Structure 1
Amino acid sequence: MRALPYTTAILVALAGAAFSISAQAAAVKTEHVEAELVSEANALVSGADNSLALRIAPQKGWHVYWRNPGDSGIPTSISWTLPEGAAASDLQWPYPHRETLGDIVNYGYSEEVLLPVTLSLAPGLTADAPLVLKAKAKWLVCKDLCVPGSADLELSLPVVANSAATAINEDHRAGFAKARNELPQPAPADWTLNFQVYDSGSQKDFALAVRRGAITSDGEVSFFPYAGDLIGHSAAPRWAKDADGSLRLSQTLSDYYTKAPDKVDGVLVVHDGDRDKAWEISAKPGKVALVPVSAAKPAEETPPAAAPSPNYLLVLLLAVLGGVVLNLMPCVFPVLSIKAISLVEARGATAARQRAHALFYTAGVLLTFAGLAGLLLVLRGSGSVIGWGFQLQQPAFVAALAYLFFAMGLSLSGVVEFGTRLMGVGQSLVGSGGYRASFFTGVLAVAVASPCTAPFMGTALGYALAQPAAVAISVFLALGFGLALPFLAIGFFPFLAKALPRPGAWMETFKQFMAFPLYLTALWLIWVLGGLTDRNGMTVALLGLLLIAFALWLWKRTGLVSGALKLAAIAAALALLASPMMTKIAATHVAAQGVGYEPYSEARLAELRAEGRTVFVNFTADWCITCKVNERVALASDAVKNAFAERKVVWLEGDWTREDPLITRTLEHFGRSGVPLYLVYAGAAEPTVLPQLLTPEMVVAALPPAVQAPNP
């Protein structure tokens, strides 16, 4: 009888060896991730809780996500297929780490992590053969791009009647110990946990207080809420310890915050080297003093910005080329029509005067580009997630442009004359000064160039917005120089101007004809406005156009009544820009539903990629002329439609007509500052980025070949 323990030991050892072989065979290596099911012991105990874990090991430089992924991402998940008598708990989550990419902060794990699971077996459960546990794990792994992944996992273990017949699995002893140490513990019973939300026009902060807490460490403090829309994840937490040992933490509210919750749950971590402590907390509303910025631990001194990379000169060249090509894009045509009139009128001027006109036009372009770049950088620095063309996401600005182009069209049609010579829209603003007119024509050219993105521009602007302010503005100025370059060349090389026709009586007919592109532009802007607001907003804008027409009709009339009417009509038209109808934007924007495509979301994209589907992603906007041309010329072609149907392509459309921080971050991820952006995903492979100007052949060539059915 005394031999029984030795027999048991041998059986346990053999079971342990079998387990090790099984565990090694069960590990699944996928792109950038290794995953497997592991057990803390080498056997399962019936009638007891058993410690298992999903082991996730990302490739170096990559990370997977916590239960709240932060600014973007998808939490790791697992679904089980278990034999009768077995039940698995939800995943348990060791506290995460902040994973930073630019101004995006995610919560997750960049090193191997064990996500514990408790497996309960019914009492008396026995098995003649090892118990087979099956599960499907899904994750999103990210670096500078994100790849969804999944694996079918399996683990076979013997079942024993009591824990005396088990032994610790040495291969994963350290991993389970680390996971257990990093699991948040329940907050001590003597803690009083309160939170307060400060949500006013000038202040948007969250404050958390742990009172009567015995937190002795002076290490850094982190708070990871379970809700994803409470705090700004990229904002640095501020903390302070009061004299009574209480801890207060403050952090900026999320852009998606709507109202104060009934309670706030999450994980509070005090970092203290190898002795980090994490507590799971649930705070109730209460009065909490904010931690001011000055009280927070000072950030490490930021090193001086690195000198521009060798690619800087190439980016400047691309920006200049993009500006030149921008002159050929449809959104700039209306302003070029005005500039064409001024060039023909100035044909007989002296060389010095022609050069001056060219320089004033260039100055208008460059100063406006610099101002636009500065405004964009300031807004982004304050936390706004915006990109190229952001002004056309503002209803009042769009309406103002529509008014301006409509008034210019009426002027060219002869309804009213601004000044003695029409050399550009500048005369409508400052009188008859020709140089000033050229300057303001340059200003207007930049204002209306935003709907278009020419080739080379996307790379240049995407680079610029990731650089220090001086470098960014220099790239914008290079783009403006390219836009002005054709007219600068005509001004400085008189032989180019000789190719222009001589002024004559035909000019009046030509001028009136050129009014129609301006009317068409105003019509298009009203259509864009309808997408930004609704039918009421469009109607209000049309009423504004009517008032503008009435005011201009009265322009040459004299007398007290007509003067009062002129002022009243113009004032009413301008007042409509601030009307609530004009500034109304729906809280959520549902992408237009059409045959063949779905609204874009990161979750839907990850789901389709995990299924191995081919996905075409179109990031577009109603005000993006380049986008609309591509959609008509390429995406609506029979060749593309047939290829999508044949190859079972799923079309996702990201609508950036209104501000959408998630789409903006995706654009930045691919080095773009605006739309269009076209991506082709073939399952889990890295996406193919298509050019900004499409042909049907380009789209079809980017798709993976159709899978041929096997011959019968």
Structure 2
Amino acid sequence: MQASSLNLFRYLATLFAMLCLAAATPSAAQVAQQDNYIDASLIADSRPVQGETMWLALRFSPRDGWHGYWSNPGEAGLGMELDWDVPPHWSVGEPQYPVPHVLTFFGIANHAYKDDYAVLIPVEVGRADVPPTLLPATVSARWLACSDELCVPEQARLEVRYPTAGEALRAQFDEYRAAIPPMIDQEGDFALSDTALRVAIPLPQATELPQPHLFLGTLDTVDYSAPQRFYRDGDMLVVEIDRGGLRPTPDAISGILAFDDEGNGVRFTALPGDVPTGGARIGNPALDTPLVLLLGGALLGGLILNLMPCVFPILSLKALTLARAGGDGRQARCEGLAYTAGVVIACLALGGLLLALRAGGEQVGWAFQLQQPLVVAGLLALAMWITANLAGLYEIPSLPIRSRGEGGAFATGLLAAVVATPCTGPFMAAALGAALLLDWWLALLLFATLGLGLALPFLLLGFVPALRRLLPKPGPWMETFRKVMAVPMGLTALALVWLLSQLGGTPFAVATVFLAGFTALFFGGLLMRHKLAMLQGVVLALVTIPFALYNYEPPKADDAAETSIHSFSSFDETRLQRIRTHGTPIFVWFTADWCLTCKVNERVAIEREVVLRAFREKGVATMRGDWTRRDPEISRFLAEREMAGVPLYLWYAADGSMEQLPQILTSDMLVNRAMAQPDPPDITHASPPD
């Protein structure tokens, strides 16, 4: 049903674009003067010679934020149309495209080009009664230019520009030809069923496929947004894609097999035939993990989250409310269910919002809300209020974590789930990564399982009387324990102050602290009927609110930064590839100021003198991706590696191999890998090449 709806959308969008193109028929002069969002030009690699093949390059230059389409645009868009006006004895061949990219908007997958690209067209120059150099050759080109919000049908009438005397176009055409994937000299086989297309492509087993993707040139045959499955069977690559579209089984198929996201790949054709089954699965490792293991990882991750300093005080104090309840089993069960409902609903809401944003083209990951300064400010205020209340600075009898009843339990569950999200990375990376690739209902099932794991201890307390009997009896000690629990909650508040200073600047963080304190005075005074405290809160809040808003300005990220002992460069994928081409080993790590595990790893494993010495000795470059604030480039890089969040640690060796390290690091892991690298040409120079 989902594939049918998307295909219907594709047909409607394509029909609309074709109608727009048909309606846009200005005069030739108007076409030449049209201000397009994608500029086009047509050049030849040489002057025409009778009996020889001349190559034309149709060059496109999209403006920033705009893109053009491959011959098969995907689920929406429109391929290019060319009407040639050439001498009668000339023969124009099929256009040859570079490897496209997958652009996804609102869950719709497009095959497109965002950067400059050239389409090559072979022309056989036949015999003529006049010299070929005097014969005009023009093309009426029509294409669709789209941004994230708008699509515009465009056209131009282009005349071939031949190289003038002394003009060297060979270097340009060499670059254009290098971007066109070569054709495999052996045909493949394909089998099309009611549910999937399976293609067998002859490809040497030694060919590396870090990020494979099959772009099918045959229209309306597969579901373009469905995950693709790749298998190795010796020197045969088998690709399996879910069926989509309304076309009958074609006589042949063709397309491009992309090896990675860098424009490397091959063209292929395939005929109906036998496609091998089985083989070794490659690509998308998260999808290979059985669902039961992913659910188990999510459940275990939720359980471990209860030990985090931001969650443990909430759980502990909520458990004490059951101790006060005594033997009331029905009340305990109701509160356990209400708490579980609050946790699961919060996890489903955060997960659903994450999936919706990603379907809309946003590059976000788990705990994305902690990249928003105003959200962090709200959490900071809440943590300060809870800390002050637990410390006994003021009393709020109806505080959810201290009150009995289903309402208080439900609110506490919501609170626990929200504050726990930045700690999920190291415990359920595979499950969260798979959630970005699985069907939406399976992804939501993983998020719900995470919530169940987080709520499970309190749920068991509610339903197992033997566990409740293990709780200590109510007494004066509970007041002391409450004040002790103010310490980890206060540490959480301090961590949020530091994070807010990174996101919105120090003045904004300080103003938020004062504002939270003064509102605590006001509401505490309101509940305790202390008019002076209420007045203090009102006056000081009126002073700090304008100050906080005026000083809100997210700091800009530096191009380079330093930890306590390491100098490193900020993440840049282009520079990363350049460093790798020089044969320089490089350690790349992705972190965020709100990620507790990231900070622990940096302190105990990365920022160690023994690691620094090993890196210097072997010339290991370092690069850090800071995901504290939203960064689409980092989000895309993480998503391509099936990671929903941070931390992520990558080791690129001098021989070009890449290894993803565990999410719990030790300094020995880094030292051993560094010492295994060959000595650099100049061991005194450890800076990465530019």
Q: TM-score by structure 1 length?
A: 0.57
Q: Deviations over 1:316-339 (max 9, x none)?
A: 122112212222334433433433
Structure 1 residue 336 and structure 2 residue 338: aligned? no
Query: After the TM superposition, which residues 10-29 of structure 1 pair with which residues of structure 2 at under 5 Å, given as runs?
Result: none
Equivalents in 1 of 2:528, 2:314: separation in Å? 29
Residues 572 and 442 (structure 1 numbering): CA distance in 2 closer, same or farther, change over 3 Å? farther
Equivalents in 1 of 2:642, 2:247: separation in Å? 24
Structure 1 residue 602 and structure 2 residue 573: aligned? yes
Structure 1 gap segments, 5+ residues each: 1-39, 42-50, 54-65, 72-92, 117-174, 181-186, 215-225, 227-270, 274-298
**Hey, what does 1:314 align to over in structure 2?**
293
**Hey, what does 1:100 align to over in structure 2?**
102
Equivalent pairs, count: 465
**Hey, what does 1:697 align to over in structure 2?**
668
Deviation at 1:355, TM superposition (A): 2.2
Query: After the TM superposition, which residues 302-701 of structure 1 pair with which residues of structure 2 at under 5 Å, given as runs?
Result: 311-346=290-325, 348-419=326-397, 424-425=400-401, 432-556=403-527, 558=529, 579=549, 581-582=551-552, 584-586=553-555, 590=559, 592-594=561-563, 595-683=566-654, 685-701=656-672
SS in 1 for 2:625: strand
CA contact (8 A) 1:334 1:518 kept: yes
Q: Deviations over 1:391-412 (max 9, x none)?
A: 0001111000110111111111
Letter in 1 for 2:445: S
Coordinate RMSD, CA, aligned:
4.6
Deviation at 1:359, TM superposition (A): 1.5
Letter in 2 for 1:585: P
Equivalents in 1 of 2:345, 2:503: separation in Å? 28
SS in 2 for 1:622: coil
Equivalents in 1 of 2:103, 2:290: separation in Å? 21
**Hey, what does 2:263 align to over in structure 1?**
none
Equivalents in 2 of 1:101, 1:682: separation in Å? 31
Q: Deviations over 1:133-187 (max 9, x none)?
A: xxxxxxxxxxxxxxxxxxxxxxxxxxxxxxxxxxxxxxxxxx994899xxxxxx9
Residues 190 and 608 (structure 1 numbering): CA distance in 2 closer, same or farther, change over 3 Å? closer
CA contact (8 A) 1:414 1:512 kept: yes
SS in 1 for 2:526: coil
Letter in 2 for 1:632: R
Residues 357 and 673 (structure 1 numbering): CA distance in 2 closer, same or farther, change over 3 Å? same
CA contact (8 A) 2:519 2:538 kept: no
Equivalents in 2 of 1:435, 1:567: separation in Å? 32
Equivalents in 2 of 1:557, 1:455: separation in Å? 43
Q: Deviations over 1:327-356 (max 9, x none)?
A: 23344334334335435444x232332222
CA contact (8 A) 1:460 1:475 kept: yes
Moved more, 670-679 or 333-342: 333-342
Equivalents in 1 of 2:479, 2:97: separation in Å? 74
Residues 701 and 669 (structure 1 numbering): CA distance in 2 closer, same or farther, change over 3 Å? farther
Q: Deviations over 1:650-685 (max 9, x none)?
A: 111000000011101111111110011011111353
Equivalents in 1 of 2:558, 2:369: separation in Å? 18
Deviation at 1:418, TM superposition (A): 2.0
Q: Percent identity?
A: 37
Equivalents in 2 of 1:319, 1:674: separation in Å? 14
CA contact (8 A) 2:103 2:112 kept: no
CA contact (8 A) 1:682 1:704 kept: no
Residues 498 and 570 (structure 1 numbering): CA distance in 2 closer, same or farther, change over 3 Å? farther
CA contact (8 A) 2:294 2:430 kept: yes
Letter in 1 for 2:101: E
Equivalents in 1 of 2:369, 2:429: separation in Å? 17
CA contact (8 A) 2:522 2:538 kept: yes
SS in 2 for 1:592: strand
Residues 475 and 576 (structure 1 numbering): CA distance in 2 closer, same or farther, change over 3 Å? farther
CA contact (8 A) 1:387 1:673 kept: yes
Letter in 2 for 1:532: L
SS in 2 for 1:384: coil
CA contact (8 A) 2:618 2:680 kept: no
Deviation at 1:635, TM superposition (A): 1.3
Deviation at 1:600, TM superposition (A): 1.1
SS in 2 for 1:554: helix
**Hey, what does 1:205 align to over in structure 2?**
150
Residues 589 and 334 (structure 1 numbering): CA distance in 2 closer, same or farther, change over 3 Å? farther
Moved more, 589-598 or 640-649: 589-598
Equivalents in 1 of 2:576, 2:641: separation in Å? 16
Deviation at 1:572, TM superposition (A): 7.4
Equivalents in 2 of 1:534, 1:459: separation in Å? 34
Q: Deviations over 1:354-382 (max 9, x none)?
A: 22222211111101111111111122222
Equivalents in 1 of 2:298, 2:357: separation in Å? 22
Query: After the TM superposition, which residues 272-311 of structure 1 pair with which residues of structure 2 at under 5 Å, given as runs?
Result: 300=245, 311=290
Equivalents in 2 of 1:635, 1:651: separation in Å? 10
Deviation at 1:459, TM superposition (A): 0.6
CA contact (8 A) 1:667 1:674 kept: yes
Q: Deviations over 1:220-246 (max 9, x none)?
A: xxxxxx9xxxxxxxxxxxxxxxxxxxx
Residues 709 and 619 (structure 1 numbering): CA distance in 2 closer, same or farther, change over 3 Å? closer
Structure 2 gap segments, 5+ residues each: 1-44, 47-52, 66-94, 126-135, 160-171, 173-216, 220-243, 249-286, 682-690
Deviation at 1:592, TM superposition (A): 3.3
Residues 513 and 102 (structure 1 numbering): CA distance in 2 closer, same or farther, change over 3 Å? same
Moved more, 654-663 or 644-653: 644-653
**Hey, what does 1:218 align to over in structure 2?**
none
